[in-house]
Amino acid sequence: MHDERRRIEERVARVHDQRIKPATYAASVPFEVEAWQAPGEPVPFEEAASASYKPFAMDTPWGPPWGTTWFRMRGTVPPEWTGKRVEAVIDLGFTGDWPGNQAEALVHLTDGTPLKAVNPLNQYVAIANPASGGEEIDYLVEAASNPDILANDFARPTPLGDVLTAGDKPLYTFRRADIAVLDEEVWHLDLDIQVLRELMLELNEQDPRRHEIMHALDHALDLLDLDDISGSAAEVRAALVPVLSKPAHASAHTLSGVGHAHIDSAWLWPIRETKRKTSRTFSNVTSLADEYEEFIFACSQAQQYEWVRDNYPQVWARIQESVKRGQWAPVGGMWVEADGNLPGGEALARQLIHGKRFFIEHFGVETKGVWLPDSFGYNAAYPQLAKLAGNEWFLTQKLSWNQTNKLPHHTFWWEGIDGTRIFTHFPPVDTYNARFSGEEMSRAVRNYADKGRGTRSLAPFGWGDGGGGPTREIMERARRLADLEGSAKVVVEHPDAFFAAAREEYPDAPVWVGELYLELHRATYTSQARTKQGNRRSEHRLREAELWATTAALHAPGYSYPYEKLDRLWKTVLLHQFHDILPGSSIAWVHREAEAEYARVAEELEVLTAEALAALGAGETRVFNTSPYDRAEVVRTSTGVPMYAEVPASGSAPLAVAESPHPVTVTGRVLENGLVRVELAEDGTLASVRDLKANREVLADKGNLLRLHSDLPNYWDAWDVDKHYKNRYTDLLDADSITVVDEDPLLGAIRVERAFGKGSRIVQTITVRAGSPRIDFETEIDWHEAEKFLKAGFPVDIRAPHSSAEIQFGHVQRPTHTNTSWEAARFEVYGHRWVHVGEPGYGVAVINDSTYGHDVSRTVREDGGTTTTVRLSLVRAPRVPDPEADQGKHRFTYSLLPGASIEDAVAEGYSLNLPLRVAEAGPTEPVVSVEGEGVTIEAVKLADDASGDVVVRLYESRGGRGEGVLRTGFPLAGAKLTDLLERPFEGAEAAVDGDTVAVSLRPFEVQTLRLARRP
């Protein structure tokens, strides 16, 4: 037989694209349109409804960047359309096929009822089916003219990312606003041909099924009257029935489809726009649920639900009804889809606590899984925290973006640092915006790494990255692909059902141990440093406020614990941990607002903490220690005078003159305190750091070497740092001045000032304090670079086989060698408060108060010794999507801690991030204290149910067994072990003896204790 593939495939493409698809709407009449441009920010419906509208013609430009234009659309359904499916069809002037982050609209009835959104790939609003001829249509349409930040494919900076710089030139040209008849037979024919054509092109050229589909399509098109598409569509469809009705192979892979609409809580749009995106998307989804009874939609992020509840009560009511019907599945159990690396341990716990509680309270649904398709890597504490929150499964997608290595599994058990395992799936369709195209179906089967053991995978479907969600076209594809020869099978079901079936058929799935590192987007550990600093400071200020509020609630009669304020402030911080805010990958508007929010949070928490301490009564000047470790260190009084204080963990002590061991001397460029001797070179770097206690030199080369790298990643500027950044750099060795600024016996400091680059300046104060080997580098940067990356390096004379970096509730070890491609890919990694490198008997820690990115490498010197270099990533200068990212002033501190064990690193990490506080107050006992190595208290608070119980979260911080005793500063009635939501485990009574509780922890175990008080 002759090979006619090319003729037939080209024929199908042209007829489908040029004749059938344009014929889906059989007739149309235009709306009469009027417009009103809202001034400034979006306005409530009531204000728009009472505004004065002016006539508006099609093909007219509209919409300044970030503007809102309300359109009144009036029309009448022609009498002859009675009984037909009639729809409003609106094209705002959509650009390309980007489903979000451009023009979008929400259509309302004149009484304010939201009907449905209009998006680039979802342009209709159902009017009647069947229609009633003569029906009057009157809509008010809220249209958002959001700029398409991606229009230049991230190639150039744009001022459109902030309303302050975007200008007011209209962005869009309105193309269409019609009442139209949907020709359902042609519409279905369009979908029949789409599904068959895409399946055909994915099948092997030697597969008989491909040729069968090809000839069936060719024959069917012979029946199509090109002059009467509508009249001949039914006959063409009938001819395709045999080829569409052949069942899938018995061993065909099954895709469990679940509706999804990935709505970034902020990204290329501000938070205020996300609030409207949720209403638009959720209106679409609830409308689709009315059309397709098998439809199920999975939706995470309790924050977004709360926005809809507070701003769109009618949409909220529809969501509640959909949940009752089983068509809407709350998932994820987190306040937002947070970044997977940077939130602190307690913050990550609160993400799960607040998210789970919201769904339980408002829907009576306890979510069973963590839904995080689009975060930039996943920390190794997740399995334990997920389980402690009552979850059974974990879903991610982003690892398909790996730059170098491909994850070897799609369905597996993920084991965390404490040994907890959670059943995990990584959809092989490689997208969380699936539409069941032929290419996606084929890719899912081809990619699936667990063939022969597992037979199913998950496919989240619907337009995302800005919302919109599933469409009727995607649902129709799912119906056609439910059981079709040559294709995987599609079943639309709840993700819980998928995970239950996948686990049942594959209980012995392979195990992945440790972090799920994304081999891409490594710059998200550093970009937008002020946003990251705001998060770190907020996390620690919340800890401080909760501890002292609890102390006041226990010891200060009349004091009222600020439940509602703390709840609100936590939720603000949790929102800004969203995976495009905290990582620094959003537009300028988002980060400008984030910095302002963090400042507000800091101010409120300062007030709450001060009120709690004041409630403890008038008394003496005392020093308060929020850290879980006893401290003996130098503190400055309100007058700036340094004093030496010894303060118990989570407690306070009088500010009194205490004799300080190891006083500081300053001689020229040398700082010494009997524990360390620090010598600065003429260029301001560290020439020597001598550990006097261990009698060894710490450095192998210049220490605190500031290196400025050229930094132009291949594509995603704010997200990525590519390995070639290391190849071009300038060492900052020109010091403008080196000045002694403190010579007190308690504190010695030398200041180094440098100018560099394009008008940038860095001032560092190197400080040594009495009684401590820690060397602080208080840093102020006025940053004016572009496409540059600043690092601070410490080459230490240690042969370390691995580095240890703090993560949530523990730490991870990473090799310092690059034997494999997996190790080489980790050329930039993250850590929280400290990084530690060591050899048997000796270690060094690098501690920070707000940075996360770093790299660790090693070289062998000519003398045979090994240099292990730890470099902190301080600041970057990407230009997309925020052309002014990180410009301006930065203040932070990092430290070098010679002779450090892991325990020392943990303790000093807390100390640097939780400065001692001096205040006037009366003496009190610490709420709780712990005796036992490695047993570390992370949070102290009152129980969320306002019962008066005290909740203590603690963990084992060394990576070994932790045995100890927790002692309360109040009469103890009983203690129970609970989950993260403060619900006691079965048989959860802890061993209590008087006012003490026995504590036993496995390595890195997290425990939550609920302590009842005796009257």
- Residues identified as active-site: 374
Contact status, residue 536 vs residue 594, Cβ threshold 8 Å: no
CA distance 460 to 469: 10
Please list, in sequence order, all residues whose beta carbon lies within 8 angstroms of the beta carbon of residue 695, skipping any fewer than 6 positions away: none
Nearest alpha carbon to residue 177 among 103, 273, 96, 283: 103
CA distance 742 to 302: 50
DSSP of 754-802, one letter per residue? EEETTTEEEEEEEEEETT---EEEEEEEEE--SSEEEEEEEEES---SE
Quickly list H helices, 481-582: 495-505, 529-555, 563-575
SS3 966: strand
User: Is cis: bond before 648, omega within 30 of 0?
Assistant: no
Q: How far is CA 826 from CA 179, 263, 856, in A?
A: 56, 29, 9
Query: What sign results for the dihedral spanned by CA atoms 1001, 1005, 1006, 1008?
Result: negative
Contact status, residue 992 vs residue 1009, Cβ threshold 8 Å: no
Beta strand pairing call for 61-62 and 25-30:
unpaired
Contact status, residue 463 vs residue 122, Cβ threshold 8 Å: yes
Contact status, residue 963 vs residue 1000, Cβ threshold 8 Å: yes
Q: Within a 13 Å sphere around the CA of 612, how many CA atoms are in the beta-carbon half?
A: 26
> Could you give the angle at which helices 588-615 and 529-555 cross, rounded to 10 degrees?
20
Contact status, residue 458 vs residue 432, Cβ threshold 8 Å: no
DSSP of 84-112, one letter per residue? S-EEEEEE----TT--SSSEEEEEEETTS
Q: Within a 13 Å sphere around the CA of 571, how many CA atoms are in the beta-carbon half?
A: 17
Which amino acid does the sequence have at 276? Answer: R
CA distance 970 to 925: 8
Please list, in sequence order, all residues whose beta carbon lies within 8 angstroms of the beta carbon of residue 98, skipping any fewer than 6 positions away: 120, 148, 150, 466
Burial 67-91 (b: 16+ CB within 10 A, else e): bbbbbbbebebbeebeebbbbbbbb
Phi, psi of 601 (to 5 degrees): -60, -45
Contact status, residue 60 vs residue 143, Cβ threshold 8 Å: no
DSSP code, position 841: T
State the distance between the two ends of the chain, measured CA to CA, in whole angstroms: 93
SS3 405: coil
Which amino acid does the sequence have at 722? Answer: D
CA distance 998 to 1003: 16
Residues 544/550/556/558 CA torsion (nearest 10 deg): 110
CA distance 336 to 338: 5
Nearest alpha carbon to residue 245 among 497, 494, 485, 499: 485
Nearest alpha carbon to residue 467 among 267, 627, 289: 267
